[in-house]
């Protein structure tokens, strides 16, 4: 049996870069990809903490990668050996009820598979089921750091935050949480030309990074007496609000943390007719202030990324109208996986946003 190196989950807080069986074609729609680069997601950190019990020991972690096609199943039509490809975090069969409705995350035989219930991308090779619908061809000259961000973080922020929030030109937008997903939402919302992009976070360094990436204002909840009042003051100062005598609040609030307090912030700062787009993954219940929201005609959306937007984002990265490379703050080789995970786990001190791991 051929072997490769892979980052293998061993149970709560246990993982190792070690020898592991190299994947082979199991189904005629499979593609074997030689991994060129991968990254670490917050979900991977949750798995290591034991928060995702369905991930069994001896599973290869990771669901994001770019690579080169090494071999293909007999029924693969869209790819050839040697193609450079982006691996989608969502596996799509391309033909079921949900895939045809751009809900690929609910694919009856796909969805979140890699690094979950199938061996993932943090390895020298990975098997991609339904390769024709779960991979995207990329130009060989494309910036690898930029393209890698399209595996998960950019489509997640764009689809579940920006598009679900129905951001319109001139809207005031608040993004609650300036972590990797919040910063990705910031990068993708700018194309809609909102009047304000207000970043809310307790980390001043992340807020500073947000302003450099295009946010118009930043609010640190620990440094104001009321986030609601701070946001109202920002929005009320705009010409749009003054001329139209609008009620205070933002048109769109994008929640990118996944804790009760940040969702509550969105409820407090949303304006009449506004939209709350919840991107953060909540592990505990939140209080829905329906008694206050119903009369304000507030829409609330939630969701899991489907990756239907990846082709569009890839075009924008290729024509350089979208540049997600500032999200990459650290680089490591595959042989340094353990150091890379330590850096991600201690992001508060290492200032890590996204890590770029490349083959040795």
Q: CATH no. for residue 52?
A: 3.90.180.10
Mean pLDDT of the chain: 95
Final residue belonging to a domain, choices 281, 301, 321:
301
Same domain, 126 and 179: no
Same domain, 18 and 146: yes
| Residue 319 in this model has a pLDDT that exceeds 80 | yes
Least confident of 162-171, 231-240, 259-268, 325-334: 231-240
Separation of alpha carbons 95 and 252, rounded Å: 33
Name the nearest CA neighbour of 270 among 238, 297, 302: 297
In this prediction, residue 240 carries a pLDDT of: 66
In this prediction, residue 279 carries a pLDDT of: 97
Mean pLDDT of 64-81: 98
Torsion of CA 173, 346, 61, 107, to 10 degrees: -20
Same domain, 222 and 347: no
Scored b (16 or more CB within 10 A) or e, 251-278 reads bbbbbbbbbeebbbbbbbbbbeebbbbb
What confidence tens digit (pLDDT) does each residue in 92-118 have?
999 999 999 999 999 999 999 999 999
In this prediction, residue 239 carries a pLDDT of: 56
Same domain, 26 and 68: yes
Same domain, 98 and 21: yes
Percent of the chain at pLDDT > 90 equals 93
Same domain, 291 and 235: yes
209 and 324 in contact (C-beta within 8 Å)? no
Same domain, 192 and 275: yes
Separation of alpha carbons 161 and 121, rounded Å: 25
> For residue 253, what are its two tokens?
């609030």
CATH code of the domain in which 210 resides: 3.40.50.720
Task: Give the confidence band of 283 by pLDDT, cuts at 50, 70, 90.
Answer: confident
Same domain, 123 and 62: yes
Same domain, 329 and 348: yes
Same domain, 38 and 137: yes
Phi and psi for 68 in degrees, rounded to 5? -125, 135
Same domain, 106 and 167: no
Same domain, 215 and 193: yes
What confidence tens digit (pLDDT) does each residue in 190-245 have?
999 999 999 999 999 999 999 999 999 999 999 999 999 999 999 987 756 666 67
Final residue belonging to a domain, choices 280, 301, 322:
301
| Residue 137 in this model has a pLDDT that exceeds 80 | yes
Task: Give the confidence band of 141 by pLDDT, cuts at 50, 70, 90.
Answer: confident
Percent of the chain at pLDDT > 70 equals 98
Phi and psi for 104 in degrees, rounded to 5? -60, -25
Final residue belonging to a domain, choices 258, 282, 301:
301
Our count of domains for the chain comes to 2
Mean pLDDT of 310-337: 96
196 and 217 in contact (C-beta within 8 Å)? yes
Range of the domain at 234: 155-301
């Amino acid at each position: 049996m051929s072997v490769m190196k892979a980052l293998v989950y061993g149970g709560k807080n246990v993982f190792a870069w070690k020898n592991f069986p190299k994947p082979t074609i199991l189904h005629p729609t499979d593609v074997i990809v030689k991994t060129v680069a991968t990254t670490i997601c917050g979900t991977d950190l949750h798995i290591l903490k034991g928060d995702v019990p369905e991930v069994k020991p001896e599973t290869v972690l990771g669901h994001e990668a770019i690579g080169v096609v090494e071999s293909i199943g007999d029924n693969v039509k869209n790819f050839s050996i040697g193609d450079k490809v982006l691996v989608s975090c969502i596996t799509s069969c391309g033909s079921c009820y949900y895939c045809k409705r751009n809900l690929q995350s609910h694919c009856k035989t796909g969805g979140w598979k890699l690094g979950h219930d199938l061996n993932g991308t943090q390895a020298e090779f990975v098997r991609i089921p339904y390769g024709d619908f779960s991979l995207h061809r990329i130009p060989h000259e494309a910036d690898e750091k930029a393209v890698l961000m399209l595996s998960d973080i950019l489509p997640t922020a764009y689809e579940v935050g920006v598009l679900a929030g129905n951001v319109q030109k001139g809207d005031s937008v608040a993004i609650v949480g300036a972590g990797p997903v919040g910063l990705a939402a910031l990068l993708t919302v700018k194309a809609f030309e909102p009047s304000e992009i207000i970043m809310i976070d307790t980390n001043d360094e992340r807020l500073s990074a947000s302003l450099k990436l295009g946010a118009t204002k930043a609010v640190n909840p620990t440094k104001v007496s009321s986030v609601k009042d701070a946001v109202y003051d920002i929005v009320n100062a705009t010409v749009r609000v003054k001329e139209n005598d609008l009620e205070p609040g933002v048109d769109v609030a994008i929640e990118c943390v996944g804790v009760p307090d940040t969702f509550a912030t969105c409820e407090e700062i949303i304006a009449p007719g506004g939209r709350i787009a919840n991107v953060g993954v909540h592990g505990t219940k939140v209080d829905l202030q329906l008694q206050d929201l119903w009369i304000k005609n507030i829409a609330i959306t939630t969701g899991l990324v489907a990756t239907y937007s990846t082709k569009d984002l890839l075009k924008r990265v290729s024509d350089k109208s979208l540049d997600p490379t500032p999200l990459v703050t650290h680089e490591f080789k595959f042989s340094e996986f353990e150091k890379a995970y330590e850096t991600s786990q201690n992001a508060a001190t290492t200032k890590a946003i996204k890590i770029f791991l490349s083959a040795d």
